[in-house]
Amino acid sequence: MFEGRKLALATMHQKEKVITPILENELKVKIVVPDNFNSDLFGTFTRDIKRIGTQQEAARKKAIAAMDILGYDLGVASEGSFGEDPSIPFVQSNLELVLLIDKKNNLEISGYAHSSKLKMEGLYVNSIDDVMTYAKKWGFPQYGIILRSNKNGKNRIYKDLYTENDLIITAKKLFSRPFTKKIFIEMDMRAHRNPTRMEVIKQATIDLIKNIKSTCPKCATPGFVITSIEKGLICKQCSLPTDLPKYEIYTCVKCKYSQKKLVTQYGKLANPRYCSQCNP
């Protein structure tokens, strides 16, 4: 379905380094990144440009923009988000989405990966020594560091700092402004300055390939994936249904054929620990 086709990859932060080898090898497509593609228009992690819509919508807009520039009917974009971990309260986690759009076959297939290793950290500091301390703590220079006059302002945001000297000169410049006692330092979450995030994007690309290879048993369309979950795994102790998933429902995006598969990761019966009767 994809072999020999050209695919537009929407990125300005070198995500092609991890995405291109996997997709070209697995799908036999030819990937092109449009020149000067400005993905910042669709939102930034530095809060100066707000993302409009959901993670899925942002990725879709980026992919379509790149496809339009190149005139292709196949495109991929990725979009990251940071928020509270769905399974561990108060722990921040990073969710990466890699989305493939195929206009010719009217398909949209997603791949996801999730990591709680990466935190989005930032704080006000009042000396150059503090700037250096936090920069080192957050892995500079392998990891990017951003200096800015305010946590949420649109002006004076310095992102392209590569050496200790860049940090010192920029911090001095910011501190020398009138009435400035503190400046804001934060981790750069852009993929090319954040190896941890780049790795999660790679995992999301691998998940995308897995989902593409999962085809509908009825019509063979790629992207036969879990679309919902049915709760009610039976408790080992009291035999009542728990909130743990019992079935995963797979649905074909094209012909709507669906299949129920038993969830196996929690065993045949639920641990009473997850039962609201036995462990209220």
Residues binding Zn ion (CB under 5 A): 216, 218-219, 221, 235, 237-238, 252, 254-255, 257, 272, 275, 277-278
The residue among 146 and 252 lying less far from Zn ion, judged by its C-beta, is 252
The residue among 158 and 250 lying less far from Zn ion, judged by its C-beta, is 250
Nearest approach in angstroms of CB 110 to Zn ion is 17
Cβ partners under 8 Å of residue 224, min gap 6: 214, 215, 216, 217, 250, 251, 252
Is the bond preceding 141 in cis, omega lying within 30 degrees of 0? yes
Identity of the residue numbered 73 = D
Q: Is residue 99 within 8 Å of residue 10, measured between CB atoms?
A: no
Nearest approach in angstroms of CB 91 to Zn ion is 28
Nearest approach in angstroms of CB 237 to Zn ion is 5
What DSSP state is assigned to residue 273? G
Nearest approach in angstroms of CB 243 to Zn ion is 11
Residue 16, burial from CB neighbour count under 10 angstroms (0-12, 13-18, 19+): middle
The residue among 156 and 246 lying less far from Zn ion, judged by its C-beta, is 246
Q: Is 242 left (phi over 0), alpha (psi -120 to 50) or beta?
A: beta
Nearest approach in angstroms of CB 279 to Zn ion is 7
What DSSP state is assigned to residue 51? P
The residue among 105 and 203 lying less far from Zn ion, judged by its C-beta, is 105
The residue among 37 and 224 lying less far from Zn ion, judged by its C-beta, is 224
